[in-house]
Structure 1
Amino acid sequence: MNLPALQKGDAVGIVCLARKVSLEDIQDGVALLGAWGLRVVVGQSVGAEDGYFGGSDAVRRADFQQMLDNPQIKAIFSARGGYGTTRILDQLDFTQLVANPKWIIGFSDVTALLCHLLSLGLESVHGTMPLLMGKPDTAEADETLRQILFREPLFYSVPAHPLNHLGTATGQLAGGNLILLNNITGTASDLDFTGKLLFIEDVGEYYYNIDRVLVHLRRQGRLEKLAGLVVGQFSDMNDTAVPFGKDVPQIILEHCGGYGYPICFDFPVGHVPRNLALTVGREATLQVTEAEVTLHYV
């Protein structure tokens, strides 16, 4: 379901779905949203604290729920990622959101929520969050998010990678953090891989664990059902004392390279400043040629 463009003067909310964050931490993001002409409503979970989390599960759930149900709020940003979104997902009521859809924005731990929304037939945005916004090196990530929210045309072109698998595919764009995609299997938030243009990214993982997750997904028969694969940034990777012996592209090609669909590597999405925004749930076309990779919405 296509979401309406934001308009200047619209109210947007910021909530803490996972790890705690202070109001001071998100000031650059709040200022940027204001510069876009939006009215920012900061939720009670921002600045709240319950150990690692931005308030208790009950506080974070209630804060997000009232933003979901408030018709004046046209978009909701997760203040940051971390861990904690899945702890509250099953207690949320999305009835009002389904009846009156609005933009939901985040990435990393928020992957679980974006997939859950997709299972309800709702689009969302995998994009930067207020904690990270408004910095000199995030200007492109910020701008692509603005373009999506205000429904301006968006066309991505990135350089070719020597390990890309050439081809063209059209499908529903979906994905996010690879470990989260694996963790939600078998739950109400599970992602159906069939016919999807899947994008994946991760941070701080061990090479063997990326392999283990892809083995699991392959054994489930999910990887063979994709229309295409967009491999984002796997940053700050770790290795074991006995080296695993393969890097991320090699691991991915071992498990996905034989299925015949287009695969592109080094797409600018993930835990990096140049984290280009993607609309989860929207039909898109991926074209991988020897010269470049393009991604655009149908």
Structure 2
Amino acid sequence: MLTIMPTTAPAPLRPGDQVAIVCPARKASHEELAAAVATLQSWGLRVVLGASTNVAHHQFGGEDEVRRQDFQQQLDNPAIRAILCARGGYGTTRIIDGIDFGRFGQDPKWIAGFSDITTLNCHLLRRGHQSIHGVMPLLFHQEGGADSLESLRRALFGKEISYAAPAHALNQLGTAIGELVGGNLSILQTLTGTQSDVPTAGRILFLEDIDEYLYAIDRMLVHLDRTGKLAGLAGLVVGHFSNPQDNTVPYGQTPNEIIQHYAAQYGFPVAHSFPVGHEPHNQALVVGRLARLTVTAEGTRLEYV
């Protein structure tokens, strides 16, 4: 039976702290990461490139054991105060059950990423630890992403953050307070019933995805709803559903319309078009942190309580 544990936040970063970049999923070269390293150094941080960077096993950042050992090493090293996942893709679920979070629990540090890294965000939340769903080093300097990068910096250094989104025709108005949970829809569905599964009741769920077929988005929403993930929500935040795919016979609904079909069964507030996901506007959200979601006719505001 899943239980909700009170969450704890790692200490904010300070200039001079050491951070590691690792590849728990897809590969990334040192050349690809050079600009991000320079940015982190400009924030006053010292950067370690893990053994899973600059190596490849097909699409992965090395074989499973290479990625697992690298993550474990950075997790256990008390000098490392944050672990930044270089990129998403696929692969974190292949190694998550082999990682020991025992020492981490005694001295938590920030772990940040999104997309496939939703696996880590949820695995940590299941154990009562906050983490950051935010832009990853490979995407630090994408055009139009300066605000997203700044939100990551503020989250890591413990600065105040709040977010706004414009009004949307499908929004459900209201106010909700709850811990943030969520991330990539396909990963969330994949985690259901595993040791990385997390309760959603009383929490604010946020969703995003990329390249998914419209019917598959519906199928995943059906699954989340049938497993009770939607019924007890405090609120729902709908981020980017980038580059949706369709079949020869059109599905007939947009991703937002599909999601709203299920959300409309319940009375919680719903905010569409929120800046989170696989787009340059990808604001850093602290998974597990208590937040207030306010959805009015004028727009949406999300702020930490």
Q: By the TM > 0.5 criterion, same fold? A: yes
- What one-letter code is carried by the residue in structure 2 that aligns with 1:8? P
Q: TM-score, normalised by structure 2?
A: 0.96
Aligned to 2:257: 250
1:59 equivalent in structure 2: 66
1:297 is aligned to: 304
Q: Is the 8 A contact 1:161 1:264 kept in 2?
A: yes
Which consecutive residues of structure 2, in runs of 5 or more, have no partner in the other structure? 1-7
SS in structure 1 of the partner of residue 293 of structure 2 = strand
Instruction: Give the match for residue 232 of structure 2.
Output: 225
CA contact (8 A) 1:28 1:135 kept: no
Instruction: Return the letter of the residue paired with 1:36.
Output: W
CA distance in 2 between partners of 1:181 and 1:135 (Å): 26
Query: Any unmatched runs of 5+ in structure 1?
Result: none
Pair 1:87-2:99 in alignment: no
What are the Cα deviations for residues 80-124 of structure 1, in whole angstroms up to 9, with x where unaligned? Answer: 000000000000000111110000000000001110000010000
Question: 1:138: Cα distance to partner?
Answer: 1.4
Q: Supply the AA of the counterpart residue of 2:285.
A: L
Note closer, same or farther for the CA distance 1:230–1:173 as it changes in structure 2 (3 Å cut): same
Q: Indicate the residue corresponding to 2:47 in structure 1.
A: 40
Q: Of residues 277, 280, 294 in structure 2, which corresponds to 1:273?
A: 280
| Partner Cα separation in structure 1 for residue 183 and residue 143 of structure 2 | 24
Task: Determine the structure 2 residue equivalent to 1:238.
Answer: 245
Q: CA deviation at 1:34?
A: 0.7
Matched, 1:206 2:213: yes
SS across alignment from 2:84: strand
Alpha-carbon separation, structure 2, partners of 1:62 and 1:9 = 25
Structure-1 residue corresponding to 2:117: 110
Tell me the secondary structure at the aligned position of residue 186 of structure 1.
coil
Counterpart Cα distance in 1 of 2:38 and 2:141: 8
CA contact (8 A) 1:14 1:77 kept: yes
Q: Once the 2 structures are TM-superposed, how far is the Cα of residue 135 of structure 1 from its aligned partner?
A: 3.8
Contact 1:32/1:134 (CA < 8 Å) preserved in 2? no
Task: Report how many residues are paired.
Answer: 298
Counterpart amino acid of residue 2 in structure 1: A
Question: Does structure 2 retain, via aligned residues, the 8 Å contact 1:171–1:197?
Answer: yes
Matched, 1:74 2:92: no
2:292 equivalent to 1:285: yes
Correspondence for 1:124: 131
Whole-angstrom distance in 2 between the partners of 1:74 and 1:202: 29
Q: Give, as a single letter, the amino acid of the residue that structure 2 aligns with 1:139.
A: A
Aligned mates of 2:221, 2:9 — CA distance in 1: 31
Contact conserved, 1:31 with 1:134, CA < 8 A, in 2? Answer: no
Amino acid at match of 1:289: T
The answer on 1:174 being equivalent to 2:151 is no
Query: Residue by residue, what CA displacement relative to the aligned partner does 1:31-52 show, whole Å, maximum 9, x if unpaired?
Result: 1111111000000110111111
| SS of aligned partner of 2:144 | helix
The CA distance in 2 between the partners of 1:276 and 1:250, in whole Å, is: 23
> Residues 10 and 73 of structure 1 are in contact (CA less than 8 Å); yes or no, is this contact kept in structure 2?
yes
Moved more, 244-253 or 180-189: 244-253
Identity value in percent: 53
| 1:24-35 → structure 2 map (5 Å cutoff) | 24-35=31-42
Q: Determine the C-alpha separation between the residues in 1 that align with 2:49 and 2:156.
A: 18
- Matches of 1:211 and 1:162 in 2, distance apart? 20
Q: Distance in 2 between matches of 1:158 and 1:293?
A: 5
8 Å Cα contact 2:148/2:281 also seen in 1: yes
Single out whichever of 261-270 and 151-160 deviates more from structure 2.
151-160
Deviation at 1:137, TM superposition (A): 2.0
